[in-house]
Amino acid sequence: MTDLAVTLDVHKQIRQWQQEAGLPVVDLQQPRRSWAAMLTILLDARSADARTAALSISSILTGSTQRNPLQVLIPDSEDSVLLEQWLAFEPDVRFVRTVDEAVLGAQYLLVCPAGVVFGSHSVQAAVEAAQESGARLLRAVVDGVSGSLELWDTAGLGSAADLSAAEQGIRDDGGERWVSGASLGAYAAGRPAPKMFLRKGAAGRFDVHVVVKDLKDPAARRDYEQQIRQLESELARAKRHWWQEASSAAPAGGTARRPFGSVPLRAVRKGPRYLAARTALRLRRWTTG
């Protein structure tokens, strides 16, 4: 079989994987957009098969960071040969065998485990979250993926081999922050994409608002607990008010319908937003019905 036939078979196979995963088919011949941030992406595919790595690469090449340098960390294998044939003519993609061979970005390095699928603006949202919070190391946890996304501020780092040594120092200095991968629009291959809200207008991009909180910070925990107590108090007052209204309007000898019913403890554990949404829904049902 000729080299051309092998290459066509590889492209056909990867196109099938993209379609099965519901991802846009990457057209390597089309010009792609660039992004101004000095960012380099390192995809760790040492423990992944070709399909898993290809889906992550596909999502990167169709996103807003598609012209930023991409390094694929993968050992010599049949999987690496397939990926190298697929991306043989991509000047922005480089294959490395060890972490020491990886090159740091001028400003940021995003270390991504293979299996993560990015939304159109996931990488850009991660950079914006790091900038807004002042984090030197931003981690994003993606359900279903072993390991976390790591966005490093490369200032003061000599090489990718320095990451492990620098991690503890950044943590001790309070420069590490954690966010949910879903808040960035990132998810595991084979799982449904998180719902995102599109910004209206010509921008046509994801309107992502990421709230970065350090769960180890006592102040953050107290703030969260205070929000829950406040919502519980408001819910209790609303229940008493509507119960009094229902009791006064009930027929003699009748039984007033409870407007809210019981609020189980699991509702409180889901957090303030869930509790507020539940309260609003109960109020609408009672007032309309």
Name the region of 253 (left: φ>0; alpha: ψ -120 to 50; beta: rest). Answer: left
CATH of the domain at 64: 3.90.550
pLDDT per residue as tens digits for the range 163-175: 878 888 888 888 8
Residue 154 and residue 237 share a domain: no
Residue 183 and residue 232 share a domain: no
- 124 or 210, higher pLDDT: 124
Q: For the chain, what is the mean pLDDT?
A: 77
pLDDT at 275: 64
Does 74 score more than 80 pLDDT? yes
Highest-scoring range by mean pLDDT, 124-128, 136-140, 217-221: 136-140
Does 188 score more than 80 pLDDT? yes
pTM: 0.63
Domain span holding position 240: 218-288
Residue 193 in any domain: the answer is no
The SS3 assignment for 42 reads strand
Residue 222 and residue 184 share a domain: no
Which of 23-32, 155-164, 184-193 is predicted with the least confidence, judged by mean pLDDT?
23-32
pLDDT at 214: 57
Residue 207 in any domain: the answer is no
Residue 203 in any domain: the answer is no
Does 228 score more than 70 pLDDT? yes
| E strand map for the chain | 39-44, 70-73, 93-96, 108-113, 116-117, 137-141, 149-153, 176-180, 187-188
Domain count, the chain: 2
pLDDT per residue as tens digits for the range 30-68: 555 555 558 899 999 998 999 999 999 999 888 766 678
Residue 148 and residue 44 share a domain: yes
pLDDT at 53: 93
